Amino acid sequence: MKKKSDKSVKNVSIIGGADGPTSIFLAGRTTGKRPLKVRIKDWIYRQKRKRIARRIAPHPHSLKQVTAFMKKEYKAMEISRESRQYQEMRAGLREALIIENKPELLEGFREIKMTSPGKYTKEAVEEMFRQIEQRSKAAARIPEERFPMDFHVYEILIDDGKMEIDMDYHWDTLGISYSGSRKAMKQLKKIGRRIYLYYGVTKEDIEKESKRYSFLLTALASD
């Protein structure tokens, strides 16, 4: 595929989402001292999060209400449950939810031996991914009646951009990812913020700083 011009460079942003547990191995921290410019930027971002956090108030909606909102405001369309995309996203989220909520169902595959970034070797990485694959297979073998889901994936399409919203009504999860040109990304980011704002948070989410609260705060603080 040919590269596109700067005006249509493809980018991807994800907040929450059904990425599955392997992402923790693909986004490790870099070692060494960070440049001053990066540290200043991080400090500014943290201050921005603190300011926004003070303004967040309880105003929750259910995921079914969020679905109706997306369909009305942005003509969101649900993708087929038979599609490969749906199946892969569902499997990734299901495994992550099992690890978080019912790890005992995984029996001997509950934990994966981690390798510190400074000690990565080909053999160590291969062993980690072997364990990840084993755990994924173990999660897939768990019967639906022991870990039910009500998973849905919706798409919002705009010129040069696409947003995917995955949600599970049973476990009350919401994830948003989007890709497209720089112009489209800016527009999709605004849409994502509106969706998270509409979903909102409960008083308990704020007090416990739940994932739902964290995702909303991240969405609002993102440039």
What digits encode the pLDDT tens for the residues 193-222? 999 999 999 999 999 999 999 999 999 998
Distance of CA 150 to the CA centre of its chain: 17
> Does residue 109 lie within any of the structural domains?
no
Q: Per the domain annotation, does 12 fall within a domain?
A: no
- pLDDT at 178 exceeding the cut of 60: yes
Helices 182-199 and 211-221 pack at an angle, to 10 degrees, of 140
Instruction: Give the C-alpha separation, 40 to 72, whole Å.
Output: 41
Whether 127 is covered by a domain: the verdict is no
Predicted confidence (pLDDT) per residue in 28-68, tens digit: 344 457 788 888 999 999 999 999 999 999 999 999 999 99
Is residue 8 domain-resident?
Answer: no
Q: Distance between CA atoms of 72 and 165, rounded to whole angstroms?
A: 15
In a domain, 48, yes or no: no
Dump pLDDT digits (tens) for 110-151. 566 665 656 667 888 788 888 888 889 999 999 999 999 999
Provide the CATH number for the domain around residue 195. Answer: 3.10.110
Of 171, 169, 215, 162, nearest in space to 191 by CA:
162
Side chain identity, residue 218: T
pLDDT (average), residues 150-174 = 97
DSSP helix/strand/coil, 178: strand
User: In the chain, pLDDT over 90 holds for what percent of residues?
Assistant: 67
36 located within any domain: no
Provide the domain count of the chain. 1
Residue 214 is assigned to a structural domain of this protein: yes
pLDDT at residue number 214: 94
Predicted pLDDT at 111: 65
Nearest-angstrom CA–CA distance, 207 and 204 = 5
pLDDT at position 89: 96
The whole domain housing 181 covers 56-79+151-223
The letter for the amino acid at 188 is L
Answer yes or no: is 193 within a domain.
yes
The bridge status of strand 151-158 relative to strand 173-180 is unpaired
